[in-house]
Copies of this chain bind each other. A is one copy, B any other.
Amino acid sequence: MLQRSVFFLSDRTGITAETLGHSLLTQFDGIEWKKHYASFLDSAAKVQEIIDRINTIAKQEGQPSLVFSTLLDPVILASVRQADCYLIDFFESCLGVLETALQQSPVRIPGRSHILGQDASYFRRIAAIQYALNSDDGSNSKILADADVILVGVSRSGKTPVCVYLALQYGVLAANYPFTPEDMGVVRLPSLLQPLREKLFGLTLSTSRLQAVRVERYPGSHYASFVECQRELQWQNELYQQFNIPFIDTTGVSIEEISASIINRMRLERRLYGT
């Protein structure tokens, strides 16, 4: 497979540069990316060090590397531009249109993307994360009543990571109710959930995927057997259908994608960035 070196340069966290670069790279197949991260580039010495590395690697590989940048300092940018690379300068590519649209110059101050918002937003986010952790066993009806959304599904269907992501990314209060074998006599909603039907969102996944995840945790157990996984999923999926619970099959779907789908389909309000 072809190999190419890629650099992610930033004055600050590098999160924006990495998000952009990663998105773009997925659009090119058949190349193995060797990734180099350089965040908090806030001194001439650090910048020179990274430029030397870019040039050295270009020489070794016989071709210029790709460089994704969210650098804002014009002096630093000018020196990076001299390096042996293809520069994808995020701010340069996009600020022009905005300047025209807003008839206003950008402030060009680094580190604003992930600056702390208003206090309300900060507390909201911390509270949402704490909520996701506290509600992780799903057994407290008072906690469940506060939820913006309650993720349901059998054990190891991936509810917890999605709850945590919903809290972090969107500030949403996401609770988590795991169906247990005790719930699975007849196909009916566990009593705790009955008054909360509109908040429920189901996760499901393929039997073999569920089994793989459970085997990872308790190899050789009945809990991780194919037949038990199949039985639980069958009960669960009948429940979703019978009670019209919206659900998503998470097999092969990332946490981000599952979370964004839930926000979208449950029409949940985002609670961060004053939105």
Instruction: Please name all residues of chain B whose beta carbon is closer than 8 Å to the beta carbon of A75 when the two chains form the complex.
Output: none
A264 contacts B102, C-beta separation under 8 Å: no
A20→B91 CA distance, assembly (Å): 9
Give residues of chain A (62-91) contacting chain B, Cβ–Cβ below 8 Å.
Answer: 64, 66, 70, 72, 86-88, 90-91
Number of copies: 2
A260 contacts B66, C-beta separation under 8 Å: no
A: number of interface residues (CB 8 Å): 80
Give residues of chain A (101-154) contacting chain B, Cβ–Cβ below 8 Å.
Answer: 101-102, 104, 106-109, 111-117, 123, 125-126, 129-130, 133, 136
Interface pick from A35-43, A178-186, A225-233: A35-43
B116 contacts A252, C-beta separation under 8 Å: yes
CB < 8 Å neighbour of A102 from B4, B72, B260: B4
B20 contacts A101, C-beta separation under 8 Å: no
Interface hub of A23, A106, A109, A160 (most chain B Cβ within 10 A): A23
B115 contacts A26, C-beta separation under 8 Å: yes
Interface hub of A87, A108, A126 (most chain B Cβ within 10 A): A126
A86 contacts B93, C-beta separation under 8 Å: no
A112 contacts B27, C-beta separation under 8 Å: yes
Closest 7 A-B residue pairs measured CB to CB? A13-B260, A26-B112, A27-B106, A114-B256, A86-B101, A23-B113, A93-B93
What are 19 inter-chain pairs, A to B, with CB distance below 8 A?
A15-B169, A16-B23, A20-B90, A23-B112, A27-B95, A28-B98, A28-B107, A39-B260, A40-B261, A86-B97, A86-B100, A87-B97, A88-B94, A88-B97, A93-B93, A114-B254, A114-B257, A114-B260, A130-B160
